[in-house]
Chains A and B, each alone.
Chain A
Amino acid sequence: MEFLTPPPVRRLTGPEGEPQRRAGSDPGGRSNGNGNGNGNGSRSPVFVGGRARVAPATIAIDRMQVEDVSVDYGRKRAVSGVSLPIRQGEVLALIGPSGCGKTTLLRSLNRLTELTRTASSQGRITLDGVDIATIEPTALRRRVTMVFQQPNPFPMSVFDNVAYVLREQASRRPKKRALEGAVHEALSRAGLLDEVRDDLDHPALRLSGGQQQRLCIARALAANPEVLLLDEPCSALDPQSTQVIEDLIVKLREDVAVVIVTHNLQQAFRVADYVAFMYLGELVEYASATQLFSAPGEQRTRDYVSGAFG
């Protein structure tokens, strides 16, 4: 494995550790080529393991606007004065050291922060031009759904995990037949349908970790959200499942705006079109992934992505 350009971030795995799964298998010429024969002029970054970054999506629609948002837990400020756009067609990654407010910012996007009693927030977040503070939280959370760090399927069957989202609050109706189409669609969007087609009645907690996490993504997609929030979705998973989910994220960005919080800089580089680097609650830099990793504008960003701290 040759590296024409040095990896933009520190390497965590050995070069011979990962097979070339992605390169060449990508349909539709999405990949930029995997580096071999890549001229120095374009300097398309190649990642560890030879996986190429996918090209940015052709269209991007503004979905959410975060305007000068601050969140406090009691007297402790977790997020201060963050403004950024969230677009459909692009994946936005929030990176930064632990405790920098990434997750808090993510949770404030669907008002999950309100579940924390000490939390208070200022600023404005709009979804399709409407202030989310004016939207009923349960309605908002169906349009801005979230996937968590730990796979957390509900203690019911695979089918019911997805159907749960589609049914009225605590109801068991409509019955299976009526929801079959929608459930299958959500599962296939999450790339899980083929694996669980025969086991839809099995308890979801019997699936493997990676399958559980994709079920959680299917669940989040079942509500047909405009925005999908992912809070370190791969940090509890093995590399193979991680790859499957990363591919899925890139595929999903066409239909939903995807925001992903990650500690894994390589992952941010692989999946994100735009990256927001946060530090101590502030948004230090918001730039396209290529720019942020190759030519960061701020010294703190440079230090973080080169592994000086964090």
Chain B
Amino acid sequence: MSTPQALAAGSLPPTAPRRNESSASWRLTDRLGLGFAWFLGLLFCVITAAIVIYLFVQGIRYLRPSLLVTNPSAGFTESQTGGFLDPLIDTVVIAVMSMAIAVPIGTAIAVWLSEFGRPPVLARIVESTVEMLAGTPSILLALFGTLLFEAPWLGFLSRTSGGVVFGRSFFAAAAMLSLLALPLVVSSVREGLQAIPSHVREASYAVGKTKTATTRRVLLPAARPSVLTGTMLGLGRVIGDTAIVVLLLGNTLTNDPSGSAPILSALRGTGSTLTSYVFYNAPTGDGDQPGKAYAAAFVLLLMVLALNVGVDIVGRRGTALRWNS
């Protein structure tokens, strides 16, 4: 056993101090290019840092614990307009509802694309549809949603008065928001499935398992980190979207339930999320309470940052146990 070590020690060259290549010998244009790349990279960091620091400073300045536990109310001064308890709760509710739609459907689409995908024409169509969805501005989805959910046969999902369907509710907003998260879930899960070497699938077939059994017991558990990553990315997209919420959640400051059923009525009613609250209270918005807007934006930023950290942790955990391909 001493032989390999001796060989390794003998064949290594004497350790010389490694020096990075100096750009002093480069052509002028190359040096300018390098400088430009550095400049752009730093500029990008500075801009991002400026946004985050600005929001942090403003947020800490305006955020009071009381804002988190009081509801918005109409008024003209900071002291009258209350906090953003309902928008905060609604953000969570709408995020959970959207992901409850997007994750199962997105995972199913990803499994079908990656494991079945027959006929190939249909697979290509599904693939480009998902890609197209990923590139669709959310305001278009919102506009389509208002059209769709005002249809009489979908009236049970929102407030209806005198045969006219209002078309704005948690259901409507969550359905359209889930379309935003769907492409992210699909691509993440699909990547995860495709990263599983084919011999792992074959090992399951080779002990007499069917394709569906293999998918459920081997492939999906193996792709679980990707499902989680997709969920987190989708969540980030959903809680950050404004257009759909403003158009489809009704944008009432507090929850305005429709009907008397305990939970269903609230979901059929309207409300607002942190994004629409910020939109409303921004200096250019109807409410014009910038202090409230900054505080809410700060909370929103914290949520998104937490999600990003979550994606990072899940992604790192997922690579711990792997097969050789």
Whether B207 lies near A170 (C-beta < 8 A) is no
Provide the bound-state CA to CA distance between A113 and B162, in Å.
Answer: 64
Asked if residues B321 and A112 are in contact (CB atoms below 8 Å), the reply is no
Given A150-B197, A150-B325 in contact, is the A115-B202 Cβ separation under 8 Å? Answer: yes
Which of the residues A17, A139, A148, A169 comes within 8 Å of B203, measured between beta carbons?
A148
> Are the CB atoms of B199 and A156 closer together than 8 Å?
no
Contact with B along A197-226 (1 / 0, CB 8 A): 000000101100000000010011011000
Contacts A148-B199, A150-B324, A154-B200; A138 near B209 (Cβ below 8 A)? yes
Question: Which of B15-23, B52-60, B214-222, B259-267 is found at the contact surface with chain A?
Answer: B214-222
Secondary structure at the B interface, as helix, strand, loop or mixed, is: helix
The answer to whether A169 and B209 have CB atoms under 8 Å apart is: yes
Q: Is the CB of A145 within 8 A of B205?
A: no
Evaluate contact between B323 and A150: CB separation under 8 angstroms: yes
User: Is B213 an interface position by the 8 A CB rule?
Assistant: yes
CA distance A13 to B218 in the complex (A): 39
Main DSSP-derived SS at the A contact region: mixed
Are A152 and B208 closer than 8 Å at their CB atoms? no
Tell me the count of chain A residues lying within 8 A, CB to CB, of chain B: 35
Q: Check A188 for interface membership: any CB of B closer than 8 A.
A: no
Among A140, A150, A154, A169, max chain B CB count under 10 A is at A154
Asked if B204 lies at the interface with its beta carbon under 8 angstroms from chain A, I say yes
Q: Would A146 and B218 be within 8 Å (CB), given that A203-B321, A236-B324 are in contact? A: no
Task: Tell me which residues from 4 to 26 in chain A have a Cβ below 8 Å from any Cβ of chain B.
Answer: 17
Task: Specify which chain B residues have a CB less than 8 angstroms from the CB of A51 in the assembled complex.
Answer: none
Distance in Å: Cβ of A290 to nearest Cβ of chain B:
31
Verify if B206 is at the interface (C-beta below 8 Å from A): yes
Chain B proximity of A226: nearest CB distance (Å): 13
Q: B325 contacts which chain A residues (CB < 8 A)?
A: 150
Chain A residues within 8 Å of B203, by CB: 146-148, 152, 154, 216, 219
Are A220's CB and B321's CB within 8 A? no
B205 touches A141 (CB 8 A): yes
Please state if B207 and A223 are interface contacts (CB–CB under 8 Å).
yes
Per-residue A-contact encoding for B304-325, CB less than 8 Å = 1, 0 else: 0000000000000000011111
For window 145-166 of A, CB contacts with B under 8 Å fall at 145-152, 154-156, 164-165
Q: Would you give the shortest CB distance from B223 to chain A, in whole angstroms?
A: 9
User: Which of B204, B206, B208 neighbours the largest number of chain A CB atoms within 10 Å of its CB?
Assistant: B206
Q: Please, what's the 1-or-0 string for A108-121, where 1 marks a CB less than 8 Å from any CB in chain B?
A: 00101001000000
In the bound complex, what is the Cα–Cα distance between A102 and B209 (angstroms)? 24
Cα(A94)–Cα(B231), bound, Å: 47
A263 lies within 8 A of chain B by Cβ: no
- Minimum CB–CB distance for B128 against chain A, Å: 22
- Tell me the complex Cα distance, A236–B210, Å: 27
Instruction: For the complex formed, measure the closest distance between the CB of B107 and the CB atoms of chain A, giving whole angstroms.
Output: 16
Instruction: Report if A142 contacts B (CB, 8 A).
Output: yes
Q: Give the residue of B208, B213, B222, B324 whose beta carbon is less than 8 angstroms from that of A223.
A: B208
- 17 further A-B pairs in the complex, CB-CB below 8 A; given A138-B209, A164-B204: A17-B3, A139-B208, A140-B208, A142-B208, A148-B202, A150-B324, A151-B323, A152-B200, A154-B200, A154-B217, A155-B218, A156-B217, A164-B217, A165-B207, A169-B209, A170-B216, A203-B321
Which residues from chain A sit less than 8 Å from chain B, CB to CB?
17, 110, 112, 115, 137-142, 145-152, 154-156, 164-165, 169-170, 203, 205-206, 216, 219-220, 222-223, 229, 236
